[in-house]
Amino acid sequence: MVSTHPVAFLKGHGTENDFVILPDPAGELRLSTETVARLCDRRAGVGGDGLLRVVRSAAHPEAREMASEAEWFMDYRNGDGSLAEMCGNGLRVFAYHLVRSGLVPAGDLAVATRAGVRHVRASASGGDAAGRAADGAVTVDMGRAKQLDGAVTVTVGDRSWPAYALDLGNPHAVVFVDELADAGALRTAPAVAPVTTFPDGVNVEFVVRRGERHIALRVHERGAGETRSCGTGACAAMVAAARRDGADPALDGSGVTYTVDVPGGRLVIAEEADGRIVMTGPAVIVAEGSLNAGQFGF
Ligand SMILES: N[C@@H](CCC[C@H](N)C(=O)O)C(=O)O
280: Cβ below 6 Å to ligand 1? no
Q: Per the structure, how many domains does the chain have? A: 2
63: Cβ below 6 Å to ligand 1? no
292 in a labelled binding site: no
CA distances from 24 to 8, 167, 210 (A): 9, 29, 42
Q: Is residue 198 located within the same domain as residue 235? A: yes
Alpha-carbon span 49 to 227, nearest angstrom: 7
Rounded to the nearest 5 percent, the helix, strand and coil shares of the chain are 20, 45, 40
> Global pTM?
0.95
Q: Is residue 198 located within the same domain as residue 215? A: yes
Q: Is residue 95 located within the same domain as residue 210? A: no
Q: What is the pLDDT along the chain (298 residues), one digit of tens a residue?
A: 455 678 999 999 999 999 999 999 999 999 999 999 999 999 999 999 999 999 999 999 999 999 999 999 999 999 999 999 999 999 999 999 999 999 999 999 999 999 999 999 887 776 554 545 454 479 999 999 999 999 999 999 999 999 999 999 999 999 999 999 999 999 999 999 999 999 999 999 999 999 999 999 999 999 999 999 999 999 999 999 999 999 999 998 999 999 999 999 999 999 999 999 999 999 999 999 999 998 999 8
- Where would I find the H helices in 31-101? 33-40, 88-100
ipTM surpasses cut 0.90: yes
Structural domain contains residue 1: no
Q: Is residue 258 located within the same domain as residue 207? A: yes
Q: Is residue 260 located within the same domain as residue 174? A: yes
133: Cβ below 6 Å to ligand 1? no
> Which residues form the domain of 114?
6-137+283-295
Q: Catalytic pick from 156, 230, 234, 236?
A: 230
At a CB cut-off of 8 Å and minimum separation 6, what does 93 contact?
A: 12, 13, 14, 19, 21, 52, 126, 283, 284, 285
The rounded Å distance from CA 4 to ligand 1 centre is: 31
Contact 174, 236 (CB under 8 A): yes
Structural domain contains residue 226: yes
Q: Is residue 68 located within the same domain as residue 155? A: no
Residue type, 235: C
Q: Is residue 242 located within the same domain as residue 264? A: yes
Structural domain contains residue 105: yes
Q: Catalytic pick from 7, 31, 84, 87?
A: 87
Question: What is the pLDDT, as a whole number, of residue 131?
Answer: 47
Q: Is residue 87 located within the same domain as residue 184? A: no
Q: Is residue 193 located within the same domain as residue 290? A: no
**230 counts as catalytic:** yes
Q: Is residue 269 located within the same domain as residue 153? A: yes
User: Angle at CA 108, nearest 5°, toward 265 and 127?
Assistant: 30
Structural domain contains residue 31: yes
Question: What is the pLDDT, as a whole number, of residue 127?
Answer: 57
The rounded Å distance from CA 20 to ligand 1 centre is: 14
**DSSP-assigned letter for residue 99:** H
Residue nearest to atom 2 of ligand 1 (CA): 87
Question: What is the pLDDT, as a whole number, of residue 5?
Answer: 75
The rounded Å distance from CA 84 to ligand 1 centre is: 7
Q: Is residue 150 located within the same domain as residue 260? A: yes
Question: What is the pLDDT, as a whole number, of residue 2?
Answer: 54
Residue 234: which CATH number? 3.10.310.10
Among 114, 140, 221, residue to substitute to test ligand 1 (most atoms within 8 Å of Cβ): 221
Q: Is residue 183 located within the same domain as residue 119? A: no
Structural domain contains residue 175: yes
17 in a labelled binding site: yes
